[in-house]
Amino acid sequence: MLAGKVALVTGASRGIGKGIAMRLGKAGATVFITGRPPKTQERGLARMLQLPTLEETAEEITHVGGKGIAIYCDHSKDDEVKEAFEHIAHDTDDRLDILVNNAYSAVTTITRLAGVKFYKTDVKIFDEVNRVGLRNHYLCSIYAARLMDKRHEGLIVTVSSGGGLRYLFNTAYGVGKSACDRLAADMAHDLYDSNIASVSLWPGPVKTELVKKTVLKEGGGANKEDQRVGRSHYKDVNSHRRSAERAADHHNIISLFDNGESVDFAGKCVVALATDPNIMKKTGHVLTTTGLAKEYGLFEDDGVTQPNDPLLKGFEDYIAVCNKIRSPGPDFH
């Protein structure tokens, strides 16, 4: 389906990023993936929780039928982001068909501060939460659009969440996610004449590797050395259960994740979008995995289950109205 296409998925060593990259690879694409060079402490955490590395993910992408290429990149550093895109342009003769803005570095921060009032935190928290999750998406989209414009086609998917619509975790998180949705919509206006689609994608609760280990308490333990090296990080991520419960109001966070999407379902959605000949009709829109599952007939690997995010219940019409207002279709132009 995507043979000959070139994709970049940022923040793809594990989690949703890995799931999307794997599905793009399975569809035949060449997939560049980025991730930070792991520190000793982070390596200890990864071993302890049995999390995949960037190189392992690239190898898996190649194994399923694509071509996986790992690029170490700290997305909080503009020069490293520029170098990553120069690497891609050099290797592909200036070709990039798909960008998935997924890199995010504040998972530990937002869970640790879930439910904490904004005026009881330092302003630096806002930058910590949104520098990679928002500003970097803007920067990556600039470089991607310059490459896509040369071929007059492309797709930019910005991974966001329902936290842009209703309170989730904390104020800095919600503001950032709402801005991601607006970023995708406003970029769609600038890119419309270049035939480049820009959408925002909302996965529901996802059973990532980290969620399985820390929230759902699946899997085994770790040896003493791994525990020693990863202890401080593990202490933070293991607070996910307690912090998320405080921020989720009456929703049972454990139940939400236990019934959540698989780590690669968002990838099925991205492949469907990338192969949709009418994708420009969706440009500027907020798209949910729940809605795309129904539209494209997508299921989990059991062939039966479709995502049904309970946090979206009652908001479908509101999202549709927002999409109509923000859409840069022919009526707008």
Report the first-to-last Cα separation within the chain, whole angstroms: 32
* DSSP 3-state of 61: helix
- The DSSP-derived string for 293-331 is HHHHT---TTSS-----GGGTT-HHHHHHHHHHH---TT
- In 3-state terms the chain splits into helix, strand, coil percentages (rounded to 5) of 55, 10, 35
Q: From residue 139, how far is each of 234, 235, 293, 308 by CA, in Å? A: 31, 32, 30, 32
Instruction: Work out the burial of residue 52: count CB atoms within 10 Å of its CB; fewer than 13 is exposed, 13-18 middle, 19 or more buried.
Output: middle
Question: 104 catalytic, yes or no?
Answer: no
Distance CA 153, CA 76 (A): 28
| Residue from 173, 192, 234, 296 carrying the catalytic annotation | 173
Which residues are known to be catalytic?
Answer: 173
